[in-house]
Structure 1
Amino acid sequence: MNAFLDQLPALIGVAVGTLGTILATSVSDRSKWTRAQAVRWDERRVDAYATFARAVKEMHLVAMRLTRSPATDPAGLHELNEADNECSKAWEGVLLLGDAGTVDAAREWRESVYQLVSAARGRASADFDRDTALHRADEGRDRFYAAARTSLAVGGAVAQAPWLIQRRRRT
């Protein structure tokens, strides 16, 4: 019995060391898994945001072109409908993966582009002004990109709208 008591501190040390190793490994593995999940979802979020941005921009470009001659170009209207369909599909990815601020900014941008789409389809409101609608869409895009960058923890800023306004004034 005396020999057992002499070795008891060593046995306790081994047990504490084993439990400490198990605990440290568990915490480390959990942390690695959490980081891997965050990276995985960030990659998917980037894809969703970029797909949505391309779809809205395509719809914007087609609508902008058609607002010069609304509802008179059947091929252009077909192209606009296709762009609208792609935008609707891409919207689902933003809804699924985006945070509240990014979803709100995406909604505002999409709605501002829909003003141009309505005009391109010959259904503009009486107070529709193309330059105001373009300005609103440009600002909406900037807000979306700023929100998306915040959501993804990407530094830097986007402010293309002021530059586009100045460019349009010169031309």
Structure 2
Amino acid sequence: MSDFMEQLPALLGVMLGALGSYVVVMRGDRARFRREHAARRQEQQLAAYTDYALTLKKTVTLHRRVAAHLGHDSYPHPLPAAEAAPLLLDAADSRSVAGEGLLMLGSPDVVEAAHRWALTVREVADLLRGPACTADTWQAQIEKQRMAREKYYTAIRHDMGLPPGHSGRWH
């Protein structure tokens, strides 16, 4: 019995060391899992934000092509409204799908900025179909759309902790 009592402190030390090692490894694994999960979530968010932006950008580009056909825009590839109609329907369907990803993964501020941008794109479409569309009203509405797009990207950068980026205005 005395041999057992003499070895008991060493046995307890081995048991405490094993328990300590287990706790350290488990905490490290848990921290690594959280980091990897956060990185995957951020990648998914960025993909959702980008997909939605590309669908709106496609819609704006089609509207600019129609406006160029009407003489209101300087876009280099004019397109008659009749030819643009099926492309605009396709863009609207794509935007609807991309919007679901945005709603699932986006922060409230980004979703709100996306909604405001989408509303200005709808105003672009409404202006283009209406009788009040002139080169001046068109340029004013396109500028309003650009500002809404810039606010969307600013909200994304803020949400993702990115530094300020380019305004997207080319001279």
Query: Which bin holds the TM-score, normalised by the shorter protein?
Result: 0.7 to 0.9
For 1:102, the equivalent position in structure 2 comes to 110
Distance 2:99 2:128 in 1: 21
* Alpha-carbon distance in 2 for matches of 1:148, 1:38: 16
Identity %: 28
Q: SS at 2:112's partner residue?
A: helix
Task: String of CA shifts for 1:57-106, please: whole Å, max 9, x gaps.
Answer: 01011122324539x72111222222122112111111111111111111
Gaps of 5+ in 2: 73-79
CA deviation after TM superposition for structure 1 residue 3, in Å: 1.7
- 2:83 equivalent among 75, 85, 88: 75
In 2 relative to 1, CA 37–115 (structure 1 residues): closer, same or farther, beyond 3 Å?
same
Matched, 1:113 2:121: yes
**Aligned to 2:145, which of 132, 137, 148?**
137
**Residue range with higher mean Cα deviation, 15-24 or 4-13:** 4-13
Matched residue count: 160
Match of 2:40 in 1: 40
Q: Which 10-residue stretch deviates more, 2-11 or 136-145?
A: 2-11
Q: Indicate yes or no: 2:97 matched with 1:89.
A: yes
RMSD: 2.3
Alignment of 1:6-25 (within 5 A): 6-25=6-25
Residue by residue, what CA displacement relative to the aligned partner does 1:10-55 show, whole Å, maximum 9, x if unpaired? 1111111111111111111111111111111111112111111111
Is 2:5 aligned against 1:5? yes
In structure 2, the residue corresponding to 1:51 is in which secondary structure? helix
Once the two structures are TM-superposed, the CA of residue 121 in structure 1 deviates from its matched residue by 3.5
Amino acid in the other structure paired with 1:141: R
Given the two structures, how large is their TM-score scaled by the length of structure 2?
0.82
